[in-house]
Amino acid sequence: MQIKPYSRRINYYETDMMSIVHHSNYIRFFEEARCDFMEQIGCDVRALEDKGVSIAVVDAYAKYIIPLKFDDKVYIITKLTKMSAAKMEFEYEIRFADSDILATTGRTTHCCVNRSNKPMPIKKADANLYETLQNLI
């Protein structure tokens, strides 16, 4: 399965007083790209939540290489890099759309949890999702 990069434009409100994207927004960009990734593989995150399953963030990391600024057009490559019974790890690359230059890299780790925020196996949450994710590693 070929996952298409997620594209977006940097909004003015995402910048700080130095006219660059505030560091907290990069984690949001990763989330947007990850949700797009899940949609592309056929995972309806809302349907999972309706069944009482959430994909919780365990940790998040970003390395800022070149600052993003208002009106920059970027794309984000999202890759599933690790998976265990209940956890998933994604890696991200944010690149400038016009030059393909790498601006940021990042990583997030997630755990499937039930309504009580207790970890649960991905396979139990959604067997089809588990199978799809296994085929992406």
Q: What is the pLDDT of residues 52-80, one digit of tens each?
A: 999 999 999 999 999 999 999 999 999 99
pTM for this prediction? 0.91
**Residue 70 maps to a domain:** yes
**Residue 120 maps to a domain:** yes
CATH value at residue 132: 3.10.129.10
**Residue 114 maps to a domain:** yes
Identify the residue whose tokens are 């600024």: 69
Nearest-angstrom CA–CA distance, 111 and 24 = 21
Confidence at residue 125, expressed as pLDDT on a 0 to 100 scale: 82
CA distances from 94 to 1, 7, 108 (A): 21, 9, 14
Structural domain of residue 66, as residue ranges? 6-136
User: Which residues are the active-site residues?
Assistant: 16
Identify the residue whose tokens are 């910048």: 15
Q: State the DSSP H helix or E strand holding residue 32, giving kind and residue range, or none if neither.
A: helix 23-40
**Residue 129 maps to a domain:** yes
Please write the tens of the pLDDT for every residue from 102-131: 999 999 999 999 999 999 998 888 888 888
**Residue 1 maps to a domain:** no
**Nearest-CA neighbor of 28 among 47, 10, 49?**
10
**Residue 69 maps to a domain:** yes
Q: In what order do the strands lie in the sheet with 87-96?
A: 6-9, 73-83, 87-96, 102-113, 54-64
**Residue 25 maps to a domain:** yes
